Chains A and B, each alone.
Chain A
Amino acid sequence: MNVLPVILWSDALVWLMALAALVLGLLSRRQPPLAAAWRRVGRSRPGMAAATVVAVFVVVGLLDSLHYRPALDTPAAGASAAPAYAIETLSVLDALAVPLRLRGEKTYSAPLATHAFAKETQEIRAADGSVQQVRDFPRLRFGGAHLLREEAPAEATDGDTANANAGVSRRTADPSATTDASPVSSAMAPSALPATSAMSEKAAALAAARQYDISRRVGVAVLSALIVWAGVVVWVVQLLARRESLAFAEVGRRLWRGETVFAWRAVLLTLAAIALVVAPMLALAGDYHVFGTDKVGQDVFYQVLKSVRTALVIGLVTTLTTLPLAIFFGLAAGYFRGWIDDLIQYLYTTLNSIPGVLLIAAAVLMMQVLIDTHPQWFATAAERADLRLLALCFILGLTSWTGLARLLRGEAMKLRELEFVQAAQSFGVSDLRIIARHILPNVMHIVVIALVMDFSSLVLAEAVLSYVGIGVDPTMISFGTMINNARLELAREPAVWWSLAAAFTFMVALVLAANLLADAVRDAFDARLVGSS
């Protein structure tokens, strides 16, 4: 396929960070204390289970960070003409999730539903050719559309089928046009009885078919997930057996009893749990809306997947902004003391004394005005949303470095009195070099701990800010915007709960996993705890 790769700023940063994490990982292999600490993380069972969950989220996020613009089909233009590219910026995840992305319904539908959530007035052509108006829940265009398909297309009105066949995105469809267009006509009444009985028969058949189809798919998915998982287990055991040159059965027994140094059992069990949850979802996602659809008919599962990247970018890019500031100011204040310390302390006490949300709101609003008055800066909407996301990250970062800086200042004050620093001073080593060589490596454990602990709080901060309306661009899907949109839906009767529930579940899963991982990392890196255990 002919595509134009697009590198958004946040993509570059996300991949840069993935690369940096890789390099850091390789570097810490050479540093025995750090390597030992990471090995302790590897031994922690909850930590490694959480890491597995986080890794799945990270893979989704990374797939969503490879952007491109597809080429438009321009049959008229010759080969010589420059290829035209769609205005829409897509990611690899979008390409993989085409069924989710393109199969929009008109409006709300419950998870795994075959019919819409609200009644509509439909025109049904009877056998004698007369047109009847019926008010009922319409079949969904895509959700469970393959069930009893032979009747469905014939029954549907021309307009609807045409609309569905075109498969144009949901934007072109006007949901309000067809729903509840007219009040129920009295002409319908005489023939209502036979029609409804026939319809209820059909509905029962459809429900049975749906039931059967879903359980068949779930069954197949669970089975294949288990088979794949078993394959992974065998592969891991073989790998371990080869590396430690032990018998296959022996390694298997150790792994089963959780006696391996690396917490393989926790990782594999988590993988099994993930596979058992994800495989049925994937199997159903092709023809159903697993988590239903939202107000404009967009699949909630797709929204959840897209939110993962936003959360990761917020969490990671913000930390990237925070770290240099916190490390530089914290270490400089603690090492140099005197007026430098005073200056930095005044800076962060001032920052800390302004309510954080107000500061962020002010900055975000200013930035929004800037973006709105300069539309020419952005080629696509995606670029604009991306820049807004990054700006949010920087604003969050600029306001949240103070905590870590204060921690590092205290630690640097302690370290500068240590004798190896004085030994370096007696060699006439320059101050910046002492900070880089003697102080920074000795506070890295604090930095690592702060990094993983802050991640989850930043993801939650985004949700709060988007809820308040000063978060990410409204066109950008994030947990915060999902929750914000779902707010009003809860007031409906019956409530539309799935949008909120899906956003909530996934966000909690991500944050909980990140927190558990943070705990394991802290336990492994904190020297005091290491000594006691």
Chain B
Amino acid sequence: MSHEIDFAVQPRQTPPRGESVLSVRGLRTGFAAGRTTLTAVAGIDFTLHAGETFALLGESGCGKSVAALSLMRLLPPAGRILGGEVRFAGRDLLRLSEAEMRAVRGRGVSMIFQEPATSLNPVLRVGEQIIEALPGGMGRADARERALALLAAAGIADPARRIDAYPFQMSGGMKQRVMIAEALAGEPQVLIADEPTTALDVTIQAQILDLLARLQAERGMGILLITHDLGVVARAAQRVGVMYAGEIVEEAPRAMFFAAPRHPYTRKLFAALPDGVGRGHRLETIPGQVPPLSAMPAGCRFAPRCAHAETRCTLAAPAWREVAPGHRVRCHRVDEVALAASAVSAPLAAEMAASGTAQAAHVGSAASSQEFRIQEFTAQEAAVQVSAVQVSSIVPEGTEVGSALTAPSPLLEVRDLAVHFPIRQGWLRRAVGAVRAVDGVSLALERGRTLALVGESGCGKTSVGKAVLQLIASTAGEVKLDGRILTGLSRSALRPLRRRMQMVFQDPFASLNPRLSVGEIIAEGMQALGLGRAEASPAAAVAALLAQVGLDPAAAGRYPHEFSGGQRQRIAIARALAVQPELIVCDEPTSALDVSVQAQILNLLGSLQADLGLAYLLITHNFAVVEHLAHEVAVMYLGRIVERGTVGEVLHSPRHPYTQALLAAVPRIGSADEAPPPALSGEMPSPANPPAGCHFHPRCPRAGAECRTAYPAPVAVSATHTVYCVLNAR
């Protein structure tokens, strides 16, 4: 109890900057599974200093969230802390009683979570939730005063009004601000932020990261930032620890980390980023996947996927090596890796051979543990297969594709498309208004090309995709596929056209029916559209499709839950390809995937386009993906396109203030040392009630009087580049 009094009474002393506030030594955490315990965090060490942000970087399933929950001792029921030490304020948190620990949570260490929508209680006003988190012994009026101050500190405009709002009345960004206010209520010395911006748009992400940096500067907190996003690390962290399969494999100050990453895994992560690599270039990928907890390789855990692995890597776990002050790596072959990198193109053949044997070793270990794993073909292998098999057999009209490229009529033409969802009220359910999800969008897409539709969530880009496929009814406008009008067609009339356009969805876990085998999933479209594939039986067709997307044809008999996210996305692509479409609408095809897997999928999409002449309507919020895959870009804001042009034009010389703000908000790795540009303020208004005049004017830093009166007319900057902004007319 004495500790509790300590926390409550003592005026908060900001620990001197640079002093260690949280130090973790040999933390090991596992999950009880039956009679065995699977180790998820295998002995990690790090120190967090006051006023510093330490980022734990890693792909999904590498144990970073489990590590954070272990620090708070908030593990799920099956979780067990197996050993180690967490020093905080002179005590070992792992040895405290639950009552003492409760005094530490919130007041010593507090936490914010990834999903602001679920981390607030929907039936309590936000003020009550913040007051609940305040230390006890405060009067009602004082507590409310304090909550107001916290909301203001968290950057909520008009806190006096917002304190009595319910979470559902707030946007995602505002909810995350409330969550931050709640986490600050106990004046913590350490804030653990578990993917705090992953569920948010780039502009909001920039706002939240700025907010965290400001709060840290004011309060001298230590922030443990858990993320998978190198961009977030570059923008927000001072030091970085890279986690892989439950271990920290590299630790470095930010500048050193981005300038000279040393561990092969880190280097591969950087190489897999689509950033900067131009369209048509193949991204580097990491073969295989993170090993399951039940089959951790002995020795270095990355060895089975590492191009530089040799015998000693599979035998003994590497020890820490300090390669520069503050820069530590766990790798047997740090020096060789650095050498290989300096000689720019290492002999590729040797690397391939090494990865081949590593792959075999991995498969062997998996088989011994009776864990089924589909051997994932590397992207190169898949590409070889595709070019060898597909061009001639699956698309017999392959030659026509080339000629169609030059033909004037586009494959897809959308004119003034509008999708309004009526808002019904009263008990007669009369429409009293409409959510204008899409409000007059025109697009054109030619064969073999990719058009990216970019915008923040809620701007209507997914509705455009679904309206194009006639999955939702359009309110006005027309969609033409190869000259045939789709809007207003009956179901039966649409049916023959359905095989010409397909969709790949965002969430590979929701887009495959868990009760059907992969073979049945892929064959469904062929059955529904009555397609007998020319060459052989459905089973053979399924096998060919699986090979085409780089999966083992034996996967047909398996069920979706046996596959990883990337493999599922391959299956979803195979399902779309099954009916030999000409147009594929890709709705955020990689946003649910890790960086290394994203690279595999982007490579696959690229090679399929090259080989089959597919046209992609790419819906995304990720500019790196746009840059890598797209030919043309259309930027959407509040149901309308605000700027359209080729990738080079829009991404490198954006003309619309919104596009400029979006691009500025994207955390760039290259600009790590520059001060980030000011984030775009405010949030997107409701599409049910768009602002008069230019939709963007309330957030636009350069808006003038004419912006408030009328929607701007299109301004042609070049033959292909159009922008809807009066600023460009002058």
Q: A residues near B, CB below 8 A?
A: 31-33, 259, 418-420, 422-430, 433, 437-438, 441-442, 532-533
Q: CB-CB < 8 A to A32: which residues of B? A: 559, 561
In the assembled complex, B113 has its CB within 8 A of some CB on chain A = no
Binds A, one of B311-319, B406-414, B500-508: B500-508
Give chain B nearest CB distance to A367 CB in angstroms.
38
* Interface flag for B525 (CB, 8 Å): yes
Interface residues of B (CB under 8 A from A): 35, 76-78, 466, 469, 471, 491, 494-495, 498-499, 501-503, 505-507, 510-516, 521, 524-525, 528-529, 559, 561, 572, 575-576, 579
- Cα A420 to Cα B510 with chains together (Å): 6
Chain A proximity of B661: nearest CB distance (Å): 30
What would 22 A/B residue contacts be, using CB atoms closer than 8 Å? Answer: A33-B515, A33-B559, A419-B511, A420-B510, A420-B521, A422-B471, A423-B503, A423-B505, A423-B511, A423-B576, A426-B502, A426-B503, A427-B499, A427-B502, A427-B528, A428-B491, A428-B495, A438-B513, A441-B515, A532-B76, A532-B78, A533-B77
Assess whether B471 is in contact with A426, with CB atoms less than 8 Å apart: yes
Interface of B, secondary structure class, is: loop
What residues of chain B lie closer than 8 Å to A419, measured between beta carbons? 505-507, 510-511
What is the CB-to-nearest-CB distance from B32 to chain A, in angstroms, rounded to a whole number? 10
With both beta carbons as reference points, the residue of chain A lying nearest to B507 in the complex is identified as A419
Residue of A nearest to B491 (CB): A428
Choose from B491, B495, B561, B575 the contact partner of A423 (Cβ within 8 Å).
Answer: B575
A439 to chain B, nearest CB (A): 9
Question: Please, which residues of chain B bring their CB within 8 A of the CB of A429?
Answer: 524, 528
Residue of B nearest to A424 (CB): B524
Residue contact B510 to A428, C-beta cutoff 8 Å: no
Min Cβ gap B77→A in Å is: 6
A259, A422, A433 — which one has the most chain B CB atoms within 10 A of its CB? A422
CB of A140 to closest CB in B, whole Å: 57
Known A33-B559, A441-B515; contact A426-B76, beta-carbon cutoff 8 A: no
**Can you name the residue of chain A whose Cβ is closest to the Cβ of B497?**
A428
List chain B residues, Cβ under 8 A from A418. Answer: 510-511
Query: In the complex, what distance in Å separates the CA atom of A131 from the CA atom of B466?
Result: 103
Are the CB atoms of B494 and A442 closer together than 8 Å? no
Residues of A contacting B466 in the complex (Cβ-Cβ under 8 angstroms): 422
Partner of A426, one of B35, B498, B507, B514: B498
Contact check, B525 vs A33: say whether CB atoms are below 8 A apart.
Answer: no
Q: Which residues of B contact A427 (CB under 8 A)?
A: 498-499, 502, 524-525, 528-529, 579
A426 touches B469 (CB 8 A): yes
Chain A neighbourhood of B469, CB < 8 A:
426
Cα A33 to Cα B525 in complex, Å, equals 23
Q: A430: which B residues are within 8 A, CB to CB?
A: 528
Bound complex: CA A420 to CA B521 (Å): 9
Complex Cα distance A32/B517, Å? Answer: 9
Given contacts A422-B471, A426-B503, A533-B78, 14 further A-B contacts (CB under 8 A): A32-B561, A33-B515, A420-B511, A423-B503, A426-B469, A426-B501, A427-B529, A428-B529, A429-B528, A437-B513, A437-B516, A441-B513, A442-B513, A442-B514
- Are A420 and B528 in touch, CB under 8 angstroms? no
Are B494 and A428 closer than 8 Å at their CB atoms? yes
List residues of chain B with CB within 8 A of the CB of A533. Answer: 77-78
A442 to B510, CA, bound (A): 12
Using A428-B491, A428-B494 as known contacts, say yes or no to A532 and B512 having CB atoms under 8 A apart. no
Task: List, in ascending order, chain B residues with CB within 8 A of A425's CB.
Answer: 471
Chain B residues positioned under 8 Å from A259 (CB to CB): 35
- CA separation between A33 and B514, bound complex, in Å? 8
CB distance from A432 to the nearest CB of B (A): 12
Across the A-B interface, the 7 shortest Cβ-Cβ residue pairs? A419-B511, A441-B515, A419-B505, A427-B525, A429-B528, A427-B528, A428-B495
A30 to chain B, nearest CB (A): 9
Residues in A whose Cβ lies below 8 Å from that of B491: 428
Most buried by A among B35, B78, B511, B513: B513
Please, how many angstroms separate the alpha-carbon atoms of A412 and B368 in the complex?
A: 41
A422 proximity list for chain B (CB < 8 A): 466, 471, 503, 505
Q: What's the least CB distance linking B276 to chain A, in Å?
A: 31
User: What B residues does A428 contact at CB under 8 A?
Assistant: 491, 494-495, 498, 528-529
A419 to B571, CA, bound (A): 14
- Interface contact B528-A424, CB-CB below 8 Å: yes
| Set of chain A residues within 8 Å of B471, measured between Cβ atoms | 422, 425-426
Asked if A31 meets B515 with Cβ closer than 8 Å, knowing A422-B471, A423-B505, A532-B77, the reply is: yes
Nearest Cβ in chain A — how far from B489, in angstroms? Answer: 11
A158 to B522, CA, bound (A): 85
CA distance A231 to B575 in the complex (A): 55
Roughly how many angstroms separate A423 CA and B586 CA in the complex, as a whole number?
12
**What residues on A are CB-neighbors of B516 within 8 Å?**
437-438, 441
Give Cα A305 to B572, complex, Å.
56
Closest to B561 in A: A33
Residues of A near B507 (CB, < 8 A) are 419
| B524 surroundings in chain A (CB, below 8 A) | 424, 427, 429, 437
Q: Which residues of A contact B525 (CB under 8 A)?
A: 427
A429 to B, closest residue via Cβ: B528
In the assembled complex, the Cα of A31 lies from the Cα of B469 at a distance in Å of 32
A294 and B469 alpha carbons, distance in the complex (Å): 73
A223–B433 Cα gap in the complex (Å)? Answer: 81
Closest to B526 in A: A427
CB closest residue in chain B, given A417? B510
